[in-house]
Structure 1
Amino acid sequence: MGLNDTDLASSAAPRDVVRRQYLASAAGDLPALRATLAPDVEWTEMAGFPLAGTYRTPEGVTSNVMERLGADWEGWTAHDDTYVVDGEHVVVLARYTARNKATGKDLAVRVAHHFTVRGGLIVRFEQFVDTAKVRDAMA
């Protein structure tokens, strides 16, 4: 028995909050994505990734990560394949697919994302990805 859209939209369960973030990202709905993030969110893109660093505030995350990915990549999508939930911790085994606008090269790479969710909002995110594959698509 799965959640319907209304249940998913209102659920504060960590898995559901993270799923809403992926759905908003895939739809390009930045206001909905920001609504999943805590005001003091810490969003860390892995060292070696083109956008490496830690970003704070929902607006800081979307302007420094999602908007920049959209500017440099065509069809950037994070496919959330498998969820592992332990209390407030949600690990998602996922894939990125996209085409680099500058090189025309396709990207398909496996990733892991670690989210911490408290009070129905994402307070922390950490990305793990094979950054060499991302850089290869950019060269």
Structure 2
Amino acid sequence: MTDFLNDDSPAAVVRRQYLASAAGDLAALRATLADDVEWTEMAGFPLAGTYRTPTGVTSHVMEVLGRDWDDWTAHDDSYVVDGENVVVLARYTAVNKATGKPVDVRVAHHFVVRGGRIVRFEQFVDTALVRAAMTP
């Protein structure tokens, strides 16, 4: 386990980000992000936009997801790694707090990792399924 925690390979850095997110450990998640990170949530997604800085990402994305959803989790299923590029095929599961409706949707995430930190993230998701869970 220690080797994994000290591994700065792109896949290991991305994996630590998912583990920190699932545990709700925002400090550990911020530690995986570069100071000048660009984190893009897809157009049509409730949090659509590009966020910068580790604190900007966690306050505008992870904290909002935690506020609006119960048990929001990104399940990282498969990794495709090409140098500094890591594409993760995953799925989101959660229950919307306002409607009580669950969401279980497939997603793809593209990360760019340099120097042991995530410098760029882009999300691809069926935003209609997410929004349907938010609609009474």
TM-score, length-normalised on structure 1? 0.97
**Who is 1:53 aligned against?**
49
Written as runs of structure 1 = structure 2, the 5 A alignment for 1:85-104 is: 85-104=81-100
Give the secondary structure class of the aligned counterpart of 1:15: helix
Secondary structure (helix, strand or coil) at the match of 1:103 reads: coil
- The Cα shift of 1:125 comes to 0.1
* Total equivalences in the alignment: 135
Which of residues 61, 66, 73 in structure 1 aligns to 2:69? 73
Matches within 5 A, 1:14-53: 14-53=10-49
Q: Unaligned stretches of 5+ in structure 2?
A: none
Distance in 1 separating the partners of 2:68 and 2:4: 31
Shift of 1:8: 1.2
| TM-superposition CA deviations, 1:22-65 (whole Å, max 9, x none) | 00000000000000000000000000000000000000000000
Q: What do residues 102-133 of structure 1 show as CA deviations (whole Å, max 9, x unaligned)?
A: 00000000000000000000000000000000
Q: Sequence identity, in percent?
A: 79
Tell me, in whole angstroms, the C-alpha distance in 1 between the residues paired with 2:4 and 2:110: 20
1:116 corresponds to 2:101: no
Cα root mean square deviation, aligned: 0.3
SS in 2 for 1:102: coil
User: Which runs of no fewer than 5 residues in structure 1 stay unpaired?
Assistant: none
Pairing 1:107–2:103 present: yes
Per the normalisation by structure 2, the TM-score is 0.99
Amino acid at match of 2:35: P
